[in-house]
Chains A and B, each alone.
Chain A
Amino acid sequence: MIEYDRVSISLGGQPVLRDISFSIEAGEIFCIIGKSGVGKSVMIKQLVGLLRPDSGAIRFEGQDVCGMDERGLMALRRECGMVFQQATLFDSMTCLENVALPLRVHYDLPEHRAQERAMGYLAQLGVSHLAEREPAALGPGLRKLVAIARTMTLQPKALLFDEPTTGLDPLAARKFDKLVKGPLARAGITQVVVSHDVRSVFDIADRVVMLHEGEVRFLGTSGELSECEDRVVRGFIEGKPEL
Chain B
Amino acid sequence: MTPPSRPKLSLRASLFGRFSLADTGHDLRPLPQQPKGPISMVMRLGAMGVLLGRTTRLVFSARTDKGDTLRLAHKFANGSAVFIVVAMSFVGMIMVYQSTVQLNRAVGDTQLVGAAFLKLLVRVLGPTVIGMLIACRIGAGIAAEIAAMAVTDQLDALRLCAADPIEVLMVPRLRAGIIAALSLVIIGSCASALAGMTTGVVLFSMSPSTFWNFELIDNADLVQGIAKAFVYGVTVPIVAGAVGLSARGGAAGVGRATTDAVVGCSFAIVVLDSLISLMSHVVAGL
Please, how many angstroms separate the alpha-carbon atoms of A104 and B67 in the complex? 13
Determine whether the beta carbon of A90 is less than 8 Å from that of B157.
yes
For residue B161, CB closer than 8 A to chain A, the reply is yes
Determine whether the beta carbon of A101 is less than 8 Å from that of B25.
no
Report B12-27 CB contacts with A as 1/0, cut-off 8 Å: 0000000000001111
Determine whether the beta carbon of B24 is less than 8 Å from that of A70.
yes
Report A188-225 CB contacts with B as 1/0, cut-off 8 Å: 00000000000000000000000001100000000000
Q: Which stretch, A27-35, A51-59, A227-235, touches the partner chain B?
A: A51-59
Interface residue tally on B, bucketed by range: 20 to 34
Determine whether the beta carbon of B162 is less than 8 Å from that of A88.
no
Determine whether the beta carbon of B24 is less than 8 Å from that of A55.
no
Q: How far is the CB of A41 from chain B (nearest CB, A)?
A: 10
For residue B64, CB closer than 8 A to chain A, the reply is yes
For residue B164, CB closer than 8 A to chain A, the reply is yes
Determine whether the beta carbon of A105 is less than 8 Å from that of B162.
yes
Determine whether the beta carbon of B24 is less than 8 Å from that of A86.
no
For residue B3, CB closer than 8 A to chain A, the reply is yes
Determine whether the beta carbon of B4 is less than 8 Å from that of A101.
no
Chain B contact residues, majority secondary structure? loop
Determine whether the beta carbon of A108 is less than 8 Å from that of B7.
no
Please, how many angstroms separate the alpha-carbon atoms of A86 and B153 in the complex? 9
Q: How far is the CB of A194 from chain B (nearest CB, A)?
A: 15
Q: Which stretch, A76-84, A124-132, A163-171, A175-183, touches the partner chain B?
A: A76-84
For residue A117, CB closer than 8 A to chain B, the reply is no
For residue B105, CB closer than 8 A to chain A, the reply is no
A-B contact count (CB 8 A): 96
- CB nearest neighbor in A for B32: A13
Contact A102 B162, CB 8 Å, known A18-B4, A213-B1: yes
Partner of A54 from the list B7, B63, B148 (CB cut-off 8 Å) is: B7
A residues within 8 A CB of B152? 86, 88
Contact A51 B29, CB 8 Å, known A69-B24, A88-B153, A102-B163: yes
For residue B137, CB closer than 8 A to chain A, the reply is no
Determine whether the beta carbon of A77 is less than 8 Å from that of B154.
no
For residue A186, CB closer than 8 A to chain B, the reply is no
Contact A50 B161, CB 8 Å, known A11-B29, A15-B3: no
B residues within 8 A CB of A55? 4, 7
B residues within 8 A CB of A88? 152-154, 156-157
A residues within 8 A CB of B3? 10, 13-15
Contact A214 B1, CB 8 Å, known A50-B156, A86-B152, A108-B63: yes
B residues within 8 A CB of A92? 145
Determine whether the beta carbon of A50 is less than 8 Å from that of B25.
yes
For residue B218, CB closer than 8 A to chain A, the reply is no
Chain A contact residues, majority secondary structure? mixed
- CB nearest neighbor in B for A106: B162
Determine whether the beta carbon of B1 is less than 8 Å from that of A18.
yes
For residue A91, CB closer than 8 A to chain B, the reply is yes
For residue B215, CB closer than 8 A to chain A, the reply is no
Report B155-167 CB contacts with A as 1/0, cut-off 8 Å: 0111111111000
For residue A111, CB closer than 8 A to chain B, the reply is yes
Report B98-120 CB contacts with A as 1/0, cut-off 8 Å: 00000000000000000000000
Partner of A78 from the list B1, B2, B157, B162 (CB cut-off 8 Å) is: B162
- CB nearest neighbor in A for B13: A52
- CB nearest neighbor in A for B4: A8
Q: How far is the CB of A71 from chain B (nearest CB, A)?
A: 9
For residue B249, CB closer than 8 A to chain A, the reply is no
Please, how many angstroms separate the alpha-carbon atoms of A88 and B156 in the complex? 9
For residue A150, CB closer than 8 A to chain B, the reply is yes
For residue A48, CB closer than 8 A to chain B, the reply is yes
For residue A172, CB closer than 8 A to chain B, the reply is no
Report B115-153 CB contacts with A as 1/0, cut-off 8 Å: 000000000000000000000000000000100110011
Extra pairs beyond A13-B32, A73-B24, A81-B160 (9, CB < 8 Å): A8-B4, A11-B29, A14-B3, A15-B2, A15-B3, A54-B6, A77-B161, A92-B145, A154-B161
When A and B form their complex, which 10 residue pairs have the shortest distance between CB atoms, in order from nearest? A88-B157, A102-B161, A77-B162, A8-B4, A70-B24, A15-B3, A50-B25, A105-B163, A88-B153, A78-B162
What are 30 A-B contacts defined by CB distance under 8 Å?
A10-B3, A14-B3, A15-B2, A15-B4, A18-B4, A49-B24, A51-B28, A54-B4, A54-B7, A55-B4, A69-B24, A70-B24, A73-B25, A75-B162, A77-B159, A78-B162, A82-B160, A84-B156, A84-B160, A88-B154, A90-B149, A90-B154, A90-B158, A101-B163, A102-B162, A102-B163, A105-B63, A105-B163, A111-B65, A154-B161
